[in-house]
Amino acid sequence: MSTNDKRIREFAYQIWESEGKPEGQDARHWEMARKLAEAEALAPSKSPKAAASKTAATKTPASKPNGKAAEPKTKAKPAAAAKVIPPGEKANEKKPRAARKPPAV
């Protein structure tokens, strides 16, 4: 099994889990995973080790005048990364609530 097949398998499993482990959706999950792996392979990449060492070297916490070290900043994941939406399906969008009518007197 090639590394690409392993990556597709990992993506398909993550998609399957994120959808609540439905039965009979394996072909759709595999196709979605294949497209994700293909997009990942085409995206410009930085090696994780090189990026981590470069970040660590340039962003080490500096000492403040009072002698305490600065706290490192953390990045939050974008909300879109939390959920995978299958092709052809729309995301559930929240609709604005309608204003309440006053009670009839």
pLDDT in tens, 6-40: 999 999 999 999 999 999 999 999 999 999 999 98
Is 70 exceeded by the pLDDT of residue 91? no
* Under 8 Å between Cβ of 16 and 30: no
Q: In the numeric block, which tokens belong to residue 47?
A: 């090696």
Q: In the numeric block, which tokens belong to residue 37?
A: 């792996």
User: What are the helix (H) ranges across 1-105?
Assistant: 3-18, 26-42, 48-58
CA dihedral sign, ordered 85, 87, 89, 95: positive
Burial class (CB in 10 A: 0-12, 13-18, 19+), 14: middle
Is 80 exceeded by the pLDDT of residue 56? no
